[in-house]
Copies of this chain bind each other. A is one copy, B any other.
Amino acid sequence: VAKGIERETLLRPSQVLLDVLGEPKCPIAVLSGPSIAPEIAQGLPASVAMASESPELAVRIQHLISRPYFRVYTNPDVVGVELAGASKNVIAIASGCLDGLGCGINAKAALVTRGIVEITRLGIAAGAQAETFSGLAGLGDLVTTCFSAASRNRSFGEAIGRGRTVEEALAATQCVVEGVETTRSITQLARRLGVEMPITQVVYQVLFEQRDMREAIDELMTRPLRSEMETQ
């Protein structure tokens, strides 16, 4: 079970499958959404999105894996579901940084609001549908990852916000923190597609160019005042 954007090639998981396996004998389906694993294991309610270019396959898997506590919605937008699942981990690192700095929940809510805007912008440029990003695989998963104590990307960001270096924060966890490599890939993808992603850019600078997160927040807060509509 994997998500992300492959280093250097910038391929999505379904594209990696095609690349490795050659012309597929059957269509591909991808699943993503707010589904922190320990909660699913406990049978707590969750809803996720499953995307395939084949509506038949999507509906077949939907009925195969849905449970009374695990509700699967189909979605035709494979690109959007894959990109949303990967890119939200970058915003989750930023969310953790805010936690580590003790910035509070008002700041995190503003981050989620602006985060989904820039992820959507990337998705549209990559050929995805905007609706996917306001759905379960987009906003839903972003909210879970930014607020769950169990999220590894958020926890990693929290360590950074508390002043640890990237190496120290990575060494402190036994888990893979996907978001670190994803920050590189998404930054490259955004550059290739000519998309502005200010939060992702700050995370990149904090992780790889020794930028101070506190100083970056101060700069974001004191930019010239403007209209909310200009910034969508």
Contact = CB atoms under 8 A, between A and B. Distances in A.
A222 B144 contact: no
A136 B108 CA distance: 11
B109 A143 contact: yes
A166 to B, nearest CB: 23
Contacts of A107: 44-46
A49 interface: yes
B75 A109 contact: no
Interface stretch (A14-22, A32-40, A193-201, A203-211): A32-40
Contact of A232 (B44, B113, B131): B131
A34 B103 CA distance: 13
A221 interface: yes
Given A68-B221, A105-B36, A112 B143 contact: yes
A106 interface: yes
Interface of A: 34-36, 39-40, 42, 44-47, 49, 59, 62-63, 66, 68-69, 71-76, 102-110, 112-113, 116-117, 131-132, 134-136, 139-141, 143-144, 147-148, 217-218, 221-222, 225-229, 231-232
